[in-house]
Structure 1
Amino acid sequence: MRYRRDDVVARAIEVLDAHGLEALSMRRLAGDLGVQPGALYHHFTNKDALLAAIADEILRRGRRPAEIMAWDAEVHLLCLGLRDAMRRHRDGALLIGRVSRSDAEGLERPLRAALERAGAEERLACVGARTLVRFVLAHEDDEDGDFALGLGLLLDGLRARLA
């Protein structure tokens, strides 16, 4: 049977949820799909490319619908969406944290865009987005109230800089 890229990613997420990130290998995934490991390289050049695709799909599933709203409400929802996406899957934060070190731009881009729409100059938008992503990655396991308080403190600081 021939699998599409989306099928491989979906099955990889199932393996991740069942066995964790350290147990996810090209060989294991190929075995679960009933194909030779080399067949996966048709879709992914290496394991890092597969992990990046898994992280992208997890984040895509966690995105909240786009609405026209104030920049700070948008940033708040983006951060909650990232946290929710990571928490929805076993080792989700570990995977996204690992992938984001090589592609932090992908996580930061929507936050940076919201800050720029609010009037932030480029440096503030970049540093603000990076700080927000790092906060979410580092505090994924915090109690909901503690996470909300920390995120609120960051947003208060950004609001003050933009005022």
Structure 2
Amino acid sequence: MPAAPATARRTADDVVDAALDILDSHGLPGLSMRRIADSLDLQPSALYWHFPNKQSLLAAVSERILAPLRNSHATDFQQVADEFRAALRDHRDGAELVYSSYALGLSGVPALGLFEAAAQGSEQAQTAARTAVHYVLGFVFFEQQQEFATRLGVIDAPSADRDADFAAGVALLAAGLPAVSTS
């Protein structure tokens, strides 16, 4: 019996790995099903064996981007925010991809639970967690867009201290947490 062709041995993880490599090299606009299939020496239709549509593949890529947060031991808002930001920044257009999957309800954001735990004791821990997630995603999306525009020569490199601005925003969020009601 002849050996199965190499394409038959591709897994969903192989597809996500290829998609992540393409994301890092070409950005979200360059992440097409055809480009992914070509990189794996497959027909584009073969990708649908593992993922019913492109959005579900992007959700799997989003989950991979956020994987470092699943093992996080961060206990305060700043630690969670820094780890979340780092995971997003590790991949070109990471914030945009994750935000899209999250907005469509296709992917969870482990930072939600981490932020909620960090706000434990606050009556509004869930609201604080959602607000912090939106802040980090928006901040990193803004950063990544500016970095791309700078690489293209469209804008000059921003002069602001992004790390300080980010930390100040997180500190404002954390400072705004109401105390636990004792009544």
1:161 equivalent to 2:179? Answer yes
1:28 equivalent to 2:47? Answer no
Aligned to 1:138, the other structure's residue is in SS state: helix
1:105-141: CA deviations, max 9, x gaps? 722541364157x2334xx222111100111011122
Change (3 A) 1:113 1:154: closer
Displacement of 1:80 in angstroms is 1.4
1:51-62 pair list within 5 angstroms: 51-60=58-67, 62=68
1:13-162 pair list within 5 angstroms: 13-60=20-67, 62-63=68-69, 65-67=71-73, 71=75, 73=76, 75-103=77-105, 106-107=108-109, 109-111=112-114, 113-114=116-117, 118-121=120-123, 124-140=124-140, 141=143, 143-158=162-177, 160-162=178-180
Q: Normalising by structure 2, report the TM-score.
A: 0.75
Give the % identical residues. 42
Change (3 A) 1:128 1:58: same
Q: Radius of gyration: which is bigger?
A: 2
Displacement of 1:103 in angstroms is 2.6
Q: Which blocks of at least 5 consecutive residues in structure 2 are unaligned?
A: 1-5, 144-160
Question: Does the 8 A contact of 1:79 with 1:136 survive in 2?
Answer: yes
Write 1 or 2 for the structure with the bigger share of helix: 1
Question: Does the 8 A contact of 1:64 with 1:81 survive in 2?
Answer: no
More divergent stretch after superposition (132-141 vs 45-54): 132-141
Question: Does the 8 A contact of 2:88 with 2:94 survive in 1?
Answer: yes
Aligned to 1:106, the other structure's residue is in SS state: coil
The runs of at least 4 consecutive aligned structure 1 residues that moved more than 3 Å come to: 64-67, 160-163
Q: Which blocks of at least 5 consecutive residues in structure 1 are unaligned?
A: none
